[in-house]
Structure 1
Amino acid sequence: MQIPTVRTERFVLRAPRRSDLDAYTAFRTSDRAKGIGGPFPAFDTHAKLCSLVGHWLIEGFGRWIVADKDDAPLGVVGFYYPDGWPEPEIAWSVFEHAEGQGVAYEAAVATRAYAYDVLNWKTVMSCISPDNSRSLALARRMGAVFERSFTHSVEGELQIWRHLPPEALT
């Protein structure tokens, strides 16, 4: 399987590459990774970067590296479906140097369009920690609505935010 490339007005959502490892490690080992259970030790970052590719191969969907037009990595956005999740979600993480540039919003909107237009999903959600105010604000900005809470065996309490269905986007 080849991981698809998605282009937005300002960014490229593309397959992870070895050259992304330094930026990905800086993110995962920092306090910015708290929203996804981190910070994490640097030694497992290579395996986690590889798992982004593996998710596409096993599930048929996954997360992309979001890069600028010069191919510099800005974050990780796309589909995530780990064990114990109620269904696949749109997930986003933005690297520190890209904060405040609309990266997560633009890439998450493109991801939602991919879910509906390419994967033919009828609905999609995002799982967000109740104390992750920035992600909660992004979900609201995208028009998602709080549906319910659930408790994951590892991640703890999370909230399910339901994104607009395809018919509501037209």
Structure 2
Amino acid sequence: MATFEIPTVTTERLRLRAFRPGDLDAYSAMQANPDVMRHMVLGRTSTPAEVWRTMLMSLGSWALRGYGMWACERIDGEVFVGSVGIFHPLDWPEPEIAYSLDRPFWGQGLATEATRAARDWLFERFSLSRAASFIRPDNLASKRVVERLGAVCERTFELRGSAYEYWVHHRRPA
């Protein structure tokens, strides 16, 4: 049996941790919301079975790559907020700092806080000079998140049949 560790990262208001079976209901409800999902890779809502596969893929990425997506929860009350971390399927050009929060948590700075923590964790542990965030051109809120973190838009490109802006997070000199 292979074993691997998924670290927990804590910020002022959030905890990034491994997905648990108990996350399925909240994560499924989040991914059943068209407002949440319109900017995601599939651009559509997901069934609970698809969300379960997403959770499994997130966990497996940690074993295969040493990084992956976390479940994100509020520290006060352990309420599921969404997912954040490093997304890197085989057809991605480089690791992506990705995030998706449930609708009740928008507009509170939580995406910026969680994304900063994921980016900093990645750069502290891997010798990458950069990572990306792939954002649909009409997702203005997501662009504001990465702009606050200092990412720059390099170009627009096509990924899995949709147009995305290719935002780059550069490692800051030590």
TM-score normalised according to structure 1 size: 0.91
Taking only the aligned residue pairs, the percentage that are identical comes to 35
Higher mean Cα deviation, 73-82 or 43-52?
A: 43-52
Counterpart in 1 of 2:97? Answer: 90
Counterpart in 1 of 2:142? Answer: 135
> Structure 2: how far apart are the matches of 1:143 and 1:39?
30
In the alignment, structure 1 residue 27 sits paired with structure 2 residue 34: no
TM-superposed deviation, 1:166: 2.0
> Structure 2: how far apart are the matches of 1:43 and 1:124?
30
1:20 aligned partner, one-letter code: D
In the alignment, structure 1 residue 60 sits paired with structure 2 residue 59: no
Give unpaired runs (5+ residues) of structure 1.
none
Counterpart in 2 of 1:38? Answer: 44
1:101-157, Cα deviation, whole Å (9 max, x unpaired): 2111001101111111122322111111111111111111111111112212x2411
For 1:90, what is the secondary structure of its paired residue? strand
> Structure 2: how far apart are the matches of 1:100 and 1:111?
19
CA contact (8 A) 2:129 2:170 kept: no
CA contact (8 A) 1:25 1:45 kept: yes
| Matched residue count | 167
Counterpart in 2 of 1:113? Answer: 120
Counterpart in 2 of 1:12? Answer: 15
Counterpart in 1 of 2:57? Answer: 51
TM-score normalised according to structure 2 size: 0.90
CA contact (8 A) 1:24 1:49 kept: no
> Structure 2: how far apart are the matches of 1:142 and 1:114?
14
> Structure 1: how far apart are the matches of 2:102 and 2:51?
14
Give unpaired runs (5+ residues) of structure 2.
none
TM-superposed deviation, 1:16: 0.5
